[in-house]
């Protein structure tokens, strides 16, 4: 049976495998993005603001904005707060 695989069948099989593998990568990427800073803060203090006002995203998006702008070491959480929806970045109080 393996000898009867023609190039069309092989191409379709290759496309299906490629689609399946990229979908798995997308799921892994979503899981990584979902866990911005899972440890959070033990003793948080306000640090900086991030992004546009009003901030259009979620707390998780805010957290990613803070990490991208200030670095993972300088941020322990990001939260969208206030009636104006500002993205506030927090750091550990020393």
DSSP-assigned letter for residue 2: G
User: pLDDT tens track of the chain, all 94 residues?
Assistant: 556 667 767 676 667 556 656 654 444 444 444 558 777 888 999 999 999 999 999 999 999 999 999 998 899 999 999 999 999 999 998 8
DSSP-assigned letter for residue 78: E
User: Are 91 and 45 a contacting pair, CB within 8 Å?
Assistant: yes
pTM for the full predicted model: 0.61
């Amino acid at each position: 049976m393996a000898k009867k695989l023609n190039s069309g069948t092989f191409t379709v099989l290759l496309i299906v495998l490629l689609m399946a593998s990229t979908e798995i990568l997308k799921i892994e990427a979503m899981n990584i993005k979902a866990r911005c800073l899972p440890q959070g803060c033990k003793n948080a203090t306000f640090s900086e603001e991030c992004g546009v006002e009003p901030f259009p995203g979620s707390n998780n998006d805010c957290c990613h904005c803070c990490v991208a702008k200030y670095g993972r070491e300088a941020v322990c959480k990001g939260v969208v707060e206030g009636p104006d929806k500002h993205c506030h970045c927090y750091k550990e109080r020393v």
